[in-house]
Structure 1
Amino acid sequence: MQNQFLAGRPAFARGQRRTPSLLSAGLLVSLGLSLSTLSSSGWAQAVVTDAATLPSVSVSASRDDSAAQADTVSAGALGSRKQVDTPFSTHVVTSEEAQDLMATTANDLFKYDPAVSVSSENSVSENSMFNVRGMPIDTLNSIKVDGQSFPSWDTDLPLEPFEQVELLKGLSGFMYGFGSPGGIVNYVLKRPTDDPYRSVSIDYQSAGVFSEKVDLGGRFGNDNRFGYRLNLVNEDGNTAESNGHVRRKVASLAVDFRVTPDLTWSADAFYQKRKTNGTLFGLMFASGLSIPDASTVSHSLTQPQNYYQTEMASFGTGLDYRISDNWHASLKYRFAKENRTNSDSFLYVSDDAGNYSNTLYAAMTRYFYQNVDAMVQGKFSTGSIKHDVVVGAGFQTQTSEYSNSVGWNDGYFLGNGNLYSSTLLTNDEVSIGSDLYRQQRTTQAALYASDTVQLTSRLSALVGVRYTQYRQHVYDTTGAVSSQYSADPVTPTLALMFKTDPYSTLYASYVESLEQGGSASNTNANYPATFGPLKSKQYEIGFKSDHSKWGANLALFRVDQGYNYTNSANVFVQDGTKRYTGVDASGWLALTSEWRVVGGVMWLDTKAVDVDDVSVEGKRVYGAPRFTVTGRVEYNPAYLRPLTLAFGGKYVGSEAVNADNSQFVPAYVTYDLSGRYETKIAGKDVTLRAGINNLFNRRYWTTAWGYYVSPSPTRTFVASATVQF
């Protein structure tokens, strides 16, 4: 429940509520240990008091819709619910908030959530990725579009076609089926607007990337029964990174038809093609070497032959039927495809002098997904006890196609270089391997049901269960089955919720989940070994509150997850358990009508248990910071309400690079500065935004997958102008 973590207006426009105690206010202020960025203009205008009569405020229809939607989260098999009424940790970012953040990826959306730590950025690596509470997001199973699985292997979905992006932290077994315990990222598509909507934007990013964006929506026909929403994006230019260039095109269209007042048919399609020059797969340091200070390393580690390209397309359709005031049914289908072409380098650093060998991996891979889901949600009472039930079924298929070329299996040797100097390396034999074969096919058939039982006016209980029939087949290059796995798990969810007031919930929850087993990469000695499903358990106690002038989220959690890692022999293994125990807390407070502070902190203790490898047993889990702090201060001056200024930052603690903890990347702090100004030109609403990311050009390392690191992006200036009419 953290939509208020990124923008003030939705949280400040909810009417009369109780004011916080001095103790609560003090705790929230103490969380803002450092300052973070966002221009959330006009938030002070929406601050309401406990007076009986509210002041009049001018708010556009689109923002009203955004605020209302930000209050809710799509919780998979639980249906759509208010964030404060769910017994899980959630964080929702609307499209308007994304614009204020000038976000281009999910990394940008959740950069000020203390539970989120970045593992790579698409300006320097293949794609943008992050961990939640030290656990990575599963890009094969945990990325959703309107609640349905979407292929996102080493790629980034465009943000422009989506109304909001929802992060469910932790396990999701009952709600979404298979997926890693890091969480679920659900992209909610923009749908037709009831009123005409038109906006045009021009964006700029240093050193010379320009974007043109169009967003159109409305209704037409008899009784406005037909609706549409169109988004178009064109982006091109040189980035601030060495050898960096990006080219991106996006097109999306969503339509609907109100067949009757109770029955609506909808359909959507979107397409993106993105190519980035100057990307790295990552760097690996030989055993026994320490990770050098990132600020001393050359900024020119990529080669002219390095690039990364993804192309994705999706089509979805569905029916929504309001059976009665208390009952609702839906049926939906989605097809999605991703083509991935990589021609990027893996650098193996062999000594303390920084000498490395450069191997370029060049190949194409493909992913095909299909989803069918049916769900019924309703409410009824048995005496004084109220029930909110959900019953549903789903079926999905996932197919992966890999290349069998030299460029994928062995790579092309470009030559040797040094981390502290720039060296031109090329190989005329490099070519993209397109001889694809079906490497894997997975099917999941699921039945689920839940009942949220309201025992008293304050106390309720959630009981949910999902049965999944999981089948996985792995194939060799001849098409023969090399391995296969099957599982028929029943994953329960249990929770108790107590409303301390109408806007606050104290909860305790237990969740079980299964995730797809790990696979050795083409740099592991046992490639292409694939393992069976991993089981996870999560225990969480939390409190969430969303008042008019303050909000808070607190969660104490423990997660036990099956462990897969690369051992000292460079063999990828699946062995033992990763245990994550921690506190995830955040809050915001309107100090005055002009000043607002936001802060968050996460403390995390991780260790490997019951692991056969003595060098790994008891060690910290790789890629998990022990401590993270975020904060932001926003200033909306009374003498110039159209202007909002913000300054902030994030501290991320040190992280282990590998399972045996022989290498670490150090802690780092980044700062950002931003501003937003709203005005009118020729009678049209115009919004101007500008900011500097990584204000002091801090150089640092990020780490993922248990053996490699990636360099950080350089300081970047961003700006945009949006005209709405």
Structure 2
Amino acid sequence: MKNAFIDCSNGENMGKNTSSLRLSLLASGLLLASTVHAKSAVYSLDIPAQALDKTLNALAAQTGSRILFATDVAEGRQAVALHAQLSVEQALERIVGNTGLVAQKTADGSYLIAAPNKSDALELGATTIQAAGLGINTEDSPSYTTGAVSIGKSERPLKDIPQSISVLTAQRIKDQNIQTLDDVYNNLPGVITYGYMVGDNQPYARGFQIDNYQINGIPLPNGNSITSQNWADLVPYERVELLKGSAGLFQGAGSPGGAINLVRKRASSDFHISTTTSAGRWDNYRQQIDVQGPLNEDKSVRGRLVTSYGDRGYFYDNAKTERSSTYGVLEFDLSPQTLISAGFSYQNVNNRGVMDFGLPAYKTGANIDWKRSTNLSSPSDYNDVETTQVFLEAKHQINDDWRMSLTTNYTKLNLDTIYSNTGGLIDPLTHGGGYNWAESRSENNYQYNTDAYLNGHFELLERRHEVILGANVTHAKRDSGRYETQEYEETKSIPSIIDFIPPRYDRLARYRTVKSTLDQQGVYGSLRMNVLEPLDVIVGARVSWWDYSQDQIAEPSGVSKLSGQKTNAKVVPFYGLVYALTQNWSAYGSYSEIFSPQTDFMTYAGDTLSPRSGETYELGLKGELYGGALNTSFAIYQTNFNGRAQIDKSYASPCNSPFTTLCHIAGGKVRSEGFEAEVNGRVMTGLQLSASYTYTRSRYLENPDDVSLEGRSFLTQMPAHAARVWANYTLPDEFAKWQVGAGARIQSGTYMLGSGMKHEGSGYALYNARIAYDITKSVSLSMNVENIFDRVYYAQTGPVESQNYYGAPRNMTFTLRTNF
């Protein structure tokens, strides 16, 4: 009689049937002589007591391992619960300890579960795949999806989380040649960017700015310019997680657009050295070296060092960027239950002549027929950013059910810049009406962030529940200077902007100093109750204390204006439901809140405006198919944002201050609603897909500043329709060394209002492609092509005066990768 042979792997061979074969467990040259006991990577496991085959499948899914066993070996056997931080080997020792079986590791890194001392050959039948085998770490996975995410403190599969979450995996980052955070924004579902192209180009989703950032789940509150330009390069990070909607439970203050979690790379217990060398159009060159491995004999100490250097030009004239990045981490296994990680990252970015304010249009709203190579920035424009971060993280598994984590970060940012603006209300006949000016500023900022939490499971009424309790603290300081530049006081009038050559500028005296301090503390808790077999109810809350103070000093008079804002014991609730329709599909609903300080607006009393409050309602359906190799999600949502700044018409300008011109009150309300669909992962053997569609509708509900806007869109630069598609296919059989990829970015038109004029931007569809070849098992060569059909389009449409940017023409990048 033939036995079905179960392969809990990454699902790449799902659906393939193999002819029966015979394998001797003792004689096979694939097996190592010893049973499993080696020390390797540690995972946070959460597997209940259940049938052995289900436990082995769950272990494969949570660790990304390949585990093989015959059905008759697992039949009728039970496995113990695993709620601990263990390596795969340690977990298998516990699983098979009372079953009379042994776990053996093969030469290719797979694990084989079998009866001991079985001398007769085992006949294996058709192979089937039972689990995707995707762990939370995506670096060693070929998948475009992940087995779990960490943005909510507890590592859970996507279908068990009652909010929309998108993941940009390590494989997609490699395949699409994603190098910077701006590249990330362009490839996340439903995300657009708007702003100034050097450092202040901010992401938006669901009609609101995304100003909430996390690193390994630790919030870094926005407010002191720390997050604007900090993480331009992805060198320290292996994946990016995006939670859409209000993220106040673990984040604290922020906008309801969502939160971006950057997950750091970890050190391997095996030695690896890899290099990435790329060259592309416009003198775009980059080199990266990555070295990692054990630092002692038993591999309890591991290290990793990644460094990169890039030098690039742009498709427009007289601009270049030089970027260097270094990331290092050390990991220490103090015991089987305790892991300590310490490390740093350093990035230095030097921009020269890069466009800040883009191009103007005609005052009629028509576009000027600029060459795509046109650059109206001054040749003296520069933007230098230096960022340093150090971190320390401790994780401890208290017992099978409880674990705790403590993380602290220190981030320092220095910025120095001169930027110019050439724009205006341009006459279509004379090309007159333009202006040119420049300003200079400096930033010296730092912030400390500490987060500690306890995560555990408990039994109540014969059901298993989960609780998270934690607290985080932020202290940030900012010292910012604004400087006049040569001829700054004389705003130039340009006779013909077509013939204008921007002048050079030099920094002169400082005319304003801004010093600010931000302190935020918060305690949070979440309870996930399994009230019925298919139904989980999640309730949570955060209590926040937010204290912001600012001192604006006019130079050289020394006139000072103090302002501040405090929010005490602000309660932000969260409610969620997850209902398991089947083993693969779940339906969910959630309600979440967030609050957002308005420190840039002043009241007549001289205080900063009270915070805005956001609330998000969301319903959705999620699927985990092919054993987790493919994740899908569908969601509808509505977000309301209340208390937006409005002009206080009761008081004339200036507003009791030497710096502001108008007083404000909190009186506006806006709403965004829409639909999202997303598919990520393996759709067939060798084919990885990431596809998404988003529909977004925003409108003013209350707008005392201009009641005529009520009912109209409040974020007109957000397209109503947007789609992102990327697929990569590994050819079969004798062509398996080849890969081909293709994708598209499609969005509908946008517009901006300014100076009484509507400036419209057309929708567009861009097509990209990739081809790659494995020269050897350790060396590969790839070519990425962007904007294949060389479409001329505006990547950003601003008002008629400025902030209009062409998208890049067709370009190619060649990349050589080695991995030993």
- Answer yes or no: is 1:654 the counterpart of 2:721: no
- The Cα of 1:337 is off from its aligned counterpart by 1.1
- 1:698 aligned residue: 792
Contact 2:185 2:203 in 1 (8 A): no
Aligned-residue offset at 1:414: 6.4
Counterpart contact for 2:548–2:565, Cα < 8 Å: yes
Q: Which structure would you say has the larger Rg?
A: 2
The alpha-carbon distance between structure 1 residues 376 and 422, as it changes in their structure 2 partners (threshold 3 A), is farther
Is 1:543 aligned to 2:621, yes or no?
yes
The equivalent of 1:209 in structure 2 is 284
Equivalent-residue separation in structure 2 for 1:704 and 1:518 (angstroms): 25
> Of the candidates 524, 545, 555, which is equivalent to residue 469 of structure 1?
545
> Retained in 1: the 8 A contact 2:386–2:415?
yes
Deviates more, 1:217-226 or 1:441-450: 217-226
Instruction: Give the alignment partner of residue 558 of structure 1, picking from 638, 644, 650.
Output: 638
Partner of 1:223, secondary structure, is: coil
Taking the aligned partners of 2:356 and 2:662, their CA distance within structure 1 comes to 19
TM-fit CA distance, 1:620: 0.6
Partner of 1:405: helix, strand, or coil? strand
Aligned match for 1:603, one of 695, 711, 720: 695
Q: Does 1:305 align with 2:399?
A: no
Sort the Cα spacing of 1:149 and 1:598 in 2 relative to 1 into closer, same or farther, 3 A.
closer
Structure 2 vs 1, CA of residues 646 and 440 (structure 1 numbering), >3 Å: closer, same or farther?
same
Q: Which residue type is aligned with residue 456 of structure 2? A: G
Match of 2:719 among 615, 619, 625: 625
Tell me whether 236-245 or 285-294 shows the greater mean CA deviation.
285-294
Query: 1:452 maps to what in 2?
Result: 528
Higher deviation after alignment, 530-539 or 585-594: 585-594
Correspondence 1:687 to 2:687: no
Deviation at 1:280, TM superposition (A): 2.6
Which residue number in structure 2 is paired with residue 389 of structure 1? 467
Q: Which residue of 2 aligns with 1:71?
A: 147
2:452 and 2:538 mapped to 1: Cα distance?
A: 21
Give the equivalent residue in structure 2 for 1:44.
none
For residue 109 of structure 1, give the secondary structure of its aligned residue in structure 2: helix
1:519 aligns with 2:611: no
Name which of 420, 442, 457 aligns with 2:518.
442
Shift, 1:323, TM fit: 0.3
Where do 1:339-378 residues align within 5 Å? Answer: 339-353=414-428, 354-355=431-432, 356-378=434-456
1:333 positional shift? 0.9
Q: What residue identity is the alignment partner of 2:171?
A: E
Q: Give a deviation string over 1:449-485, Cα, whole Å, max 9, x none.
A: 1101112221101000000011111212159562111
Aligned-pair distance for 1:558?
A: 0.4
Deviations 1:70-100 (A, max 9, x none): 3222224x43322221111111112332111
Number of the residue aligned with 1:38: none
Gaps of at least 5 residues in structure 1 are 1-9, 18-49
CA distance in structure 1 between the partners assigned to 2:405 and 2:267 by the alignment? 18
* CA–CA separation in structure 1 for the residues paired with 2:325 and 2:779: 23
Aligned to 1:22: none
| 1:509 paired to 2:580 | no
Report the secondary structure of 2:128's partner residue: coil
Once the two structures are overlaid, the 10-residue window that deviates more, 56-65 or 332-341, is 56-65
Deviation of 1:106 (Å): 2.8
The secondary structure found in structure 2 opposite 1:280 is coil
1:534 to 608, 612, 630: 612
In 2, the alpha carbon distance for the partners of 1:518 and 1:705 equals 25
Residue 378 of structure 1, CA deviation? 0.3
Closer, same or farther in 2 for the Cα pair 1:370/1:595, shift >3 Å? closer
| Identical pairs, percent | 19
CA contact (8 A) 1:393 1:447 kept: yes
How far apart are the structure 2 equivalents of 1:467 and 1:701? 40
- Post-superposition Cα deviations, 1:89-121, rounded to whole Å, max 9, x if no partner, equal 111112332111101223323534441123258
2:581 paired with 1:487: no
Matching residue's letter, 2:774: T
C-alpha displacement of 1:708: 5.6
The TM-score with structure 2 as length reference comes to: 0.74
Cα 1:15–1:170 shift into 2, 3 Å: farther
How far apart are 1:275 and its partner, in Å?
1.2
CA contact (8 A) 1:171 1:537 kept: yes
Equivalent in the alignment of 2:219: 148
Residue 543 of structure 2 aligns to which amino acid in structure 1? Y
**2:360/2:423 contact within 8 Å kept:** yes
Q: Which shows bigger deviation, 348-357 or 80-89?
A: 348-357
- How many Å apart are 1:317 and its aligned residue? 0.6
Shift of residue 680, structure 1, vs aligned partner? 3.9
Which residue of the other structure, out of 380, 387, 396, is the alignment partner of 2:458?
380
The question of whether the paired residues in 2 share the 8 Å contact of 1:295 and 1:698 is answered with no
In structure 2, what is the Cα distance between the partners aligned to 1:589 and 1:264?
31
Residue type of the partner of 2:301?
Answer: F
Residues 300 and 283 of structure 1: CA distance in aligned 2, closer, same or farther (over 3 Å): closer
Cα distance change on mapping 1:261 and 1:239 into 2, 3 Å: same
Q: Distance in 2 between matches of 1:298 and 1:529?
A: 45
Shift of 1:222: 4.3
1:403 alignment partner AA: G
Report the Cα distance in structure 2 between the residues aligned to 1:306 and 1:650, rounded to whole angstroms: 31
Q: Would you say 1:260 and 2:335 are equivalent positions? A: yes
Does residue 676 of structure 2 align to residue 584 of structure 1?
yes
Question: Residue 783 of structure 2 aligns to which amino acid in structure 1?
Answer: A
Extract unaligned runs of 5+ from structure 2.
Answer: 1-8, 17-124, 654-660
Shift of 1:413: 4.7
- Counterparts in 2 of 1:57 and 1:321: CA distance versus 1, 3 Å: closer
Q: Aligned-pair distance for 1:247? A: 0.6
Of 433-442 and 713-722, more deviation after overlay is shown by 433-442
Structure 2 SS opposite 1:98: helix
Normalised to the residue count of structure 1, the TM-score between the two structures is: 0.84
- Deviation per CA, 1:589-623: give whole Å up to 9, x if none: 86754666653221111111111022432221123
Structure 1 residue corresponding to 2:207, chosen from 112, 129, 134: 134
Match of 2:500 in 1: 423
Please tell me whether the aligned partners of residues 563 and 578 of structure 1 are also in contact (alpha carbons under 8 angstroms).
Answer: no
How many residues align? The count is: 671
1:54 to partner: Cα distance: 4.5
Structure 1 residues 659 and 398: CA distance shift in structure 2, 3 A = farther
Distance apart, 1:242 and its partner CA: 1.6
Q: Hey, what's the Cα distance between the residues in 2 that align with 1:80 and 1:365?
A: 37
Cα gap change, 1:658 to 1:145, in 2 (>3 Å): farther
* SS at 2:718 equivalent: coil
Q: Distance in 2 between matches of 1:329 and 1:550?
A: 31
Cα distance in structure 2, aligned partners of 1:56 and 1:453: 26
- Is 1:674–2:745 an aligned residue pair? no
Q: 1:103 to 1:705 in 2, by over 3 A?
A: farther
- Asked if 1:275 corresponds to 2:358, the answer is no
Whether the aligned pair in 1 keeps the contact of 2:731 and 2:739 (CA below 8 Å) is yes
Return the offset for 1:572.
8.9
**Alpha-carbon distance in structure 1 between the residues aligned to 2:617 and 2:390:** 37
> What corresponds to 2:98 in structure 1?
none
Aligned-partner SS, 2:250: helix
Q: Is the 8 A contact 2:584 2:623 kept in 1?
A: yes
Task: Tell me how far apart the structure 1 counterparts of residues 146 and 534 of structure 2 sit (CA, whole Å).
Answer: 23
Say whether residues 1:614 and 2:695 are aligned partners.
no
Q: Which amino acid aligns with 2:283?
A: G
* Alpha-carbon contact 2:236-2:306 (below 8 Å) kept: yes
Paired position in structure 2 for 1:28:
none
Distance of 1:385 and 1:207 partners within structure 2: 61
Higher relative contact order (CA 8 A, sep 6+): 1
Alpha-carbon distance in structure 2 between the residues aligned to 1:615 and 1:62: 49
Paired residues for 1:27-176 under 5 Å: 52-54=127-129, 64=140, 70-76=146-152, 78-119=153-194, 122=197, 125-138=198-211, 141-144=212-215, 146-149=217-220, 151-176=226-251
Q: Is the 8 A contact 2:362 2:800 kept in 1?
A: no
| 1:462-519 deviations in Å (ceiling 9; x for gaps) | 0000000111112121595621111121000000101122333210000011122152
Distance 1:672 1:95 in 2: 22
- 1:121–1:397 CA distance, 2 compared to 1 (3 A): same
Give the Å deviation of 1:401.
Answer: 1.7
Aligned partners of 1:59, 1:590: CA distance in 2, in Å? 12
